[in-house]
Every structure is written in C-alpha cells, then in structure tokens.
Amino acid sequence: MRATSAPAAPQRITPAELKTPLNRTESLAALSTPGTITGRELKQGAVLNALAMLASNFRAIFTLLIARLLGPVALGIFSVAWATTDLVSKIGVWGLDDATTAFVARSEAIKAHWRSRILFRVALIIAVSLSTIVSVVSTFALRKFGHRLQMEPSMISALTIVLWALPGIALYRISTAVSRGMKVMKHDIFSRGLTEPFATTIAFLIALPLGFGIFAPEAAQIGGSIAAGVVAFILAFGLFRDLSRSESDVIGNEARELVAYTLPIGADQFLNAFIWRLDVIILGWFVGRAPGVTLTTLGIYGAVVGLANGLRRVSQPFTPIFAPVVAGMTATGEHAQAAATYVRLLHWMLWILLPFAGVMILAGETILLLFGPTFQQGGQWLGIVAVACATNAFVNLGETVIMVQRPGLNLLNSLITCVVGSSATFLLIAHFGVLGAAIGILVTYVLQGVIRTIILRFVFHWPNPLNGVRPVVLTAIMAGMPAVLCRVLIPGIAGQISAALVCLAFFGAGWLYYRRAVQQI
C-alpha cells in the first residue's frame, strides 16, 4: 500500500500483515495495553451482550402473537420461511460480518482508526449490494421453479415476501460487526435487542388488518429487519464522526484483502446456517410425506426450536466480545492468554446452560402451554432439542478461535458436519417424523462439537475445555436426582413446575458454594 498525504496511523501496517500474528519488533512496540483486554473488560462486554440477548427475547412476543392469532399452521410456514431466509442471507453477507469484526479489531489494536472506517465502507457496499441481488434472483427463481420442486404454494408465497428482508439483515450485520470490532457492545442492545422485536411486532399488528392474513409475519419481518439495520448503521457511523476524510485510493486494496479473507468464512457461515436450520428446512420438505409431519406439527416444532434456541443464544453474550479479543491477542502473540480466556468463558457458559436445559427437559410441556394447548405435544421434542442447542452453545466459541487463525479448518468441519448431519436428519425424519428431526439435530451438533474440539486440542494445542468443570458436573448430579424424583412422583403441571424449581434451586446453591472457585477460573 503506497503512502499518501492523508491522515495515517503512527505506523502503517499492510493488510497482509494484519491477517497474521504480528512478529515484527517495531509492530509490537507500537501496541499498547488497550490491545489486551482485562478480565473486568471481558465481563463488562459479556454483560452488555447479555442485555442485548435478553432484550432480543422480546421477539418471543412476536412468536406468541403468531401462535395465538394465526395458529400453528401460520407459525409453521413462517418458521420454515424465516429459517430459509436466514440461510440465504449468508450468501448476501458471505462472511463479511465476521471478517470485518476481526479486521477492525486488528486495526484498532495498532491504532489504525482510519482503516476501520474504510473497512466499514467497503463491507457495507458489498454486503448490501449482494443481498439485494440475492433477493431479486431468489424471488424470481421461486416463482419460476418453486412448483416444480413440489413446494407448498403457501410456502412459496411466504418466501417471496420475506426474502426482501435480506438488505436490512446485511445492513444490520455489517454495522454491528464494526461496533463489535471496536469493542462497543451496547449498540446491539438498541438495534437487535430493542428495535428489531418492537418494530416487527408493531408491523405485524399493522399487517393483519391490512389483509396480509397468514403472511403477515413475513411482511412484518421485513419492517423489523430494516429498522434494526438502520439503527445499527447510525450507531456504528457515529464512531467515525471525529475522523477526517482518509485517502480513497486504498479502498480497492482493502476490498481485495477483505474479500479474499472472507471467502472461506462465508462458505463456513453458509454451511453453519444450514446446519443450524436443517431440521426445520428438511422437516418442511417432508410435510405430508413422513409419518405425523403436517403443517400443524411443523408449527409446533417451530415453537420448540424457538424456545430451545434460547440456549444456543447463551454464547451470544460472550462471542461478540471474544471475537475482537482473541483476534487482538493472537495478532500480538498472546496465545496463552487467549487460551485461558477461552476456558474461562466456557466455564461461565456451562453454569448457565445446564440449569436452563434441565428446566426445558423437566417442564417442556408446561412451557409450551404458553403457545396454546395444541403445542403441548412438543414437550418430548423440546427436551431433545434443548440438549442439542446447549451442546452447540458450549462449543460455539471454538469456531471463533479457529476463524481468526485458520478459517479453512472451520470450513472443513462444516462440510463434514453438513453432509453427515443432513443425511442422518433426512433418514431419521423419513422413519420417525418430527421426533427424527429432534434426534437428527442432536446428532449433528454433537458431531460438529467433537470435530471442533479435536481441532483446538491437536492443531492449536489449546487446553481441554472439560478440565476443571467438576463443580458444575457435581451440581448437575445433585440437582438432577431430586428434580427427577419430583417429576415422577407428582403428576401433571405441578410435578413439572416443582421439578424445574428444584433444579434451579440446587444450581443456585451450587453456584454460591463454588463461587470462589468459579471466580478463580
């Protein structure tokens, strides 16, 4: 990159150097302590991300409204349409969000704030433009070939509507990626946490009387996605207002470097998105073709997945702050500290995952009553999917570690998991219906976690994350015995609620007992 008269950082580092750990004496000397995050900063970032995650759970109101006002059929159609849209959105963004977070974090670590703004501009133009093209092409393809693929007419109509949420999704993801790369975690509270569920719910209540009928959720999702994207962009753009205009002749170089780095990440993200939603997508194809698979049971399973995904989101408070942290640490050669931070976050997550997974297993039928009596039959499915999502959340941080150093390994993992998991899920659904979808996603997540753990252990030589979790395991055993006893001896809803409360009480007591040990992790 040639120098110009534009404002520059104290020392200019090329994009190629930023993609690999810094090993030059002068580069390391330019780095100061802000490149290394303290335990207190890590906790603050996790708390802010937890608030964003909790705020985003207001989306449950939107799901409940669909179930209550339109019924399980409409919820089933929306579940498949939204799962498919979220999958297709990975093509539009193509890994630019994760890559932008890593690149911006490395730029900020060497105080190249001007470069962060260029990366923001480049990633935004590419992602929003590509997402718009994908929306147009996908809508045309569905209208032209949807019936030939034996898709339900209602599913085709729902998809052609909700696919227009893609530009808003791209705007949100890139803007949020820049904020996270600069370790500003509170922005997500306002965009995804508050704006998206509020705007989606209001749009849904407006779309219903306008005559959208069962497709009102899809129309509402467009409004919510655009609103979240606009808020995220305004907040991220505000981080650069005090920066003078930088040179424009480096944009092409930055675009090439960013896109080259993004290619394996984008492919991995697409495969991961399919892995996360393959049970719903494949189940939607099996409507009327497998035992017990109807639009009604599809809607019930959609509610089950929506609840269980709350466990998968447990990693969300930690992943956004961990990504820029591990990128900065590996860039400055602090691999031991990055590994210690990784293990610490995993232990925090386990104390959250186990009790709430236990609640879903013990009281699944009662929880699903919130959606209506028809949804109660999904209690068994909820227990299995909850274990699957808890497993996925526990190993999710490993993907971030691999992504910032060897993204190609993540792609290899996803390829293996996608082929094996989708094949297993397809066969299980064909034989066992909806129960097969729940078992299939459990098999898929366990396989992905095992491969990811092997990579971290034997390629990067990071410590075994299971070391030192004895307090959590002992607490789980102590909580499980009396909780199961309550579930067996006390019939009905009372037994389920009692078992869940006993489980939470024992975990709370265990946390207090082992508090000092946990704080030393």
Q: What is the pLDDT of residues 422-471, one digit of tens each?
A: 999 999 999 999 999 999 999 999 999 899 888 888 877 777 766 667 78
The answer to whether residue 496 is domain-embedded is: no
DSSP codes of every residue in 269-338 = HHHHHHHHHHHHHHHHHTTTTSTT--HHHHHHHHHHHHHHHHHHGGGTTTHHHHHHHHHHHHHTT-HHHH
Mean pLDDT confidence for 364-392: 92
Q: What DSSP state is assigned to residue 69?
A: H
Mean pLDDT confidence for 307-322: 77
Mean pLDDT confidence for 259-271: 79
Name the nearest CA neighbour of 307 among 57, 55, 47: 57
Q: What is the pLDDT of residue 54?
A: 60
Q: What is the pLDDT of residue 27?
A: 31
Q: Which of 118-122, 128-132, 260-264 has the highest mean pLDDT?
A: 128-132
Q: 209 and 219 in contact (C-beta within 8 Å)?
A: no
- What span, in angstroms and rounded, lies between the C-alpha atoms of 381 and 437? 9
Task: Read off the amino acid at residue 218.
Answer: E
Mean pLDDT confidence for 170-182: 92
Min mean pLDDT across 175-179, 313-317, 429-433 is at 313-317
CB-side exposure of 381: number of CA atoms within 13 Å?
29
- What span, in angstroms and rounded, lies between the C-alpha atoms of 82 and 306? 12
Q: What is the pLDDT of residue 40?
A: 58
Place of tokens 């996360």: 276
Number of domains forming the structure of the chain: 1
Higher confidence at residue 463 or residue 44?
463
The answer to whether residue 123 is domain-embedded is: yes
Residue 74, Cβ neighbours under 10 Å: how many?
23
Q: What is the pLDDT of residue 464?
A: 72
CA angle 105, 414, 416 (to 5 degrees): 155
Place of tokens 């906790």: 43
Higher confidence at residue 35 or residue 205?
205
pTM score of the predicted model: 0.72
- What span, in angstroms and rounded, lies between the C-alpha atoms of 400 and 177? 14
Name the nearest CA neighbour of 381 among 365, 359, 358: 365
Higher confidence at residue 34 or residue 229?
229
- What span, in angstroms and rounded, lies between the C-alpha atoms of 404 and 326? 8
Q: What is the pLDDT of residue 36?
A: 42
* Percent share of the chain, pLDDT over 70: 82
The radius of gyration computed from the CA coordinates of the chain, to the nearest angstrom, equals: 23
Kindly give the interhelix angle for 319-331 and 96-109, rounded to the nearest 10 degrees.
50
Min mean pLDDT across 391-395, 399-403, 508-512, 514-518 is at 514-518
Higher confidence at residue 48 or residue 415?
415
Mean pLDDT confidence for 485-499: 93
Cβ partners under 8 Å of residue 437, min gap 6: 279, 280, 282, 283, 301, 381, 425, 428, 429
E strand or H helix at 127: helix 113-145
Q: 342 and 325 in contact (C-beta within 8 Å)?
A: no
- What span, in angstroms and rounded, lies between the C-alpha atoms of 459 and 446? 20
Give the domain range for residue 238: 36-467
Min mean pLDDT across 152-156, 174-178, 442-446, 483-487 is at 152-156
Q: 216 and 160 in contact (C-beta within 8 Å)?
A: no
The answer to whether residue 410 is domain-embedded is: yes
CA distances from 81 to 9, 156, 165, 277, 451 (A): 46, 9, 11, 11, 30
Condensed to tens digits (0 to 9), the pLDDT of residues 65-81 reads 999 899 999 999 999 99
- Confidence band for 11, pLDDT divided at 50, 70 and 90: very low
Q: How far is CA 17 from the centre of its chain?
A: 29
Copy the structure tokens of residue 254. 């930055």
- Confidence band for 108, pLDDT divided at 50, 70 and 90: confident
Copy the structure tokens of residue 306. 């929506």
DSSP H stretches of helix in 332-469: 335-362, 364-368, 379-403, 407-432, 434-458
Copy the structure tokens of residue 147. 């019936």
- Confidence band for 41, pLDDT divided at 50, 70 and 90: low
The answer to whether residue 257 is domain-embedded is: yes
- Confidence band for 4, pLDDT divided at 50, 70 and 90: very low
35-49 CB burial, b ≥16 within 10 A, e <16: bbbeeeebebbbebb
The answer to whether residue 508 is domain-embedded is: no
- Phi/psi at 289 (5° precision): -115, -15
Min mean pLDDT across 7-16, 235-244, 447-456, 472-481 is at 7-16
